[in-house]
């Protein structure tokens, strides 16, 4: 039988560089976004934030806003809170990211965040499971 040592000292998932576009260039090279993994606790907070009760008392989940917030919260670089970025692209991290990226670039980034955080590219089952807990 193993000890608790493996659980007390897990291997840390490192931040990852992701090239989402050749539109962001510096010195002739594309500049990567740097993303971090999202913990289950952070995920549950986002799910709760984007789950509302309708007039009949049933839960409604805004999947689009959830994925946007999840993706934005994982971005370490560029700093989406930077006032210069927000002056150009819009206020708030999520709006800045949505205005900064084309749809395919956004999809690439969102998939990289989900994969780094241990999710398959289809997160619908994980969302439903978390909502039902």
CATH 3.30.2220.30 fits 16-131, yes or no: yes
Question: Per-residue pLDDT for 56 more than 90?
Answer: no
| Run of H or E residues at 39 | none
- Whether omega for the bond prior to residue 99 falls within 30 degrees of 0, making it cis, is no
Contact assessment for residue 70 and residue 38, using Cβ atoms and an 8 Å cutoff:
yes
pLDDT band, very low/low/confident/very high, at 107 (cuts 50, 70, 90): very high
User: What is residue 1's predicted lDDT score, i.e. its pLDDT?
Assistant: 57
* 121 vs 66, residue with greater confidence: 66
Are 76 and 35 within 8 A, CB to CB? yes
Q: Name which residue leads in pLDDT, 87 or 5.
A: 87
- How high is the pLDDT of residue 130? 60
With 0-12 / 13-18 / 19 or more C-beta atoms within 10 angstroms meaning exposed / middle / buried, residue 122 is exposed
Q: Give the pLDDT confidence score for residue 27 in this predicted structure.
A: 96
**pTM as predicted:** 0.83
* Residue where the block lists tokens 């930077």: 82
């Amino acid at each position: 039988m193993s000890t608790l040592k493996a659980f007390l000292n897990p291997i840390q998932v490192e931040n990852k560089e992701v090239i989402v576009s050749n539109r962001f260039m510096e010195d002739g090279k594309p500049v990567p976004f740097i993303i971090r993994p999202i913990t289950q606790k952070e995920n549950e907070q986002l799910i709760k934030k984007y789950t509302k009760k309708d007039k009949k008392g049933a839960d409604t989940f805004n999947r689009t806003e959830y994925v946007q917030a999840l993706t934005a919260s994982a971005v370490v670089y560029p700093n989406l809170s930077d006032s210069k970025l927000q002056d150009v692209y819009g206020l708030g991290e999520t709006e800045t990211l949505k205005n900064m990226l084309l749809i395919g670039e956004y999809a690439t980034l969102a998939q990289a965040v989900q994969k780094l955080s241990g999710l398959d590219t289809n997160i619908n089952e994980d969302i439903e499971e978390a909502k039902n807990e």
